[in-house]
Amino acid sequence: MRNAPKLHIAYIFGVLRAEVLRVEDHMLAEGRLEKEGDIFHLDLAEVDMALSDESFDAMEIIRPRKIIHERAMRATICPLLIDSRCRILKPDPPVFKEDHKEGSLIGAAVSPGVASGRVRIINSPDERFETGEVLATVVTGPAWTPLFVGASAVVLQIGGVLQHGALCAREYGKPAVSNIDVHAELKTGMMVEVDGNTGVVKILEGVDE
């Protein structure tokens, strides 16, 4: 029920995307675009303008936008709160009665249970992911849902108990912890234990640099 509206919207976007790709093929053949995917740096009004006016230089608009997009794609953090001096603010980690050993990462518990597995850090749902691995990523959306089936556990960088990743983890019975700086603290291949009851991720085995 929760994902039904999103699935219908995704279908509409799929039809629209197919038509936009047809237009892109036409503009590539005419030499008005440089690479596949360039058209997605235009809005629909600009696409219409390019179709109606052959003198419209789409690449003049696209090039600076691609630079910004490529820089954003290289970022490994997504600040939620920045102060007036451009400092990234983070919440204090939860306080536990007992001390945790070195190598324990403290996050927020968003789905109960405990499981171990090899970490796989991925940035897109179409990247390689093996059954039994720990899904580690910044944030998830509906397209990521199939990955939860085979995941032993989930580690997220962003999101509370009502975020997509937390909801899916609970629906599939997967332990999940959020508020972990995935790219800074974890590496693909690490063996970890994810405790979704306490919000602790224990690094059991590192990886060679």
Cite the active site residues.
164
Enter the tokens of residue 70.
């490529």
Please say whether the beta carbons of 199 and 94 come within 8 A: yes
For 65, residues 6+ apart whose C-beta sits below 8 A from its C-beta are 41
Enter the tokens of residue 43.
């809005």
Please say whether the beta carbons of 104 and 206 come within 8 A: no
Residue with tokens 């910044």: 138
Burial 56-90 (b: 16+ CB within 10 A, else e): eebeebbeeebeeeeeeeeeeeeeeeeeeeeeeee
How far is it, in rounded angstroms, from Cα 111 to Cα 108? Answer: 9
Residue with tokens 């007992």: 98
Burial 117-151 (b: 16+ CB within 10 A, else e): bbbbbbeebeeebeeebbbbbbebeeebbebbeeb
> What single-letter amino acid sits at 159?
G
> What single-letter amino acid sits at 100?
H
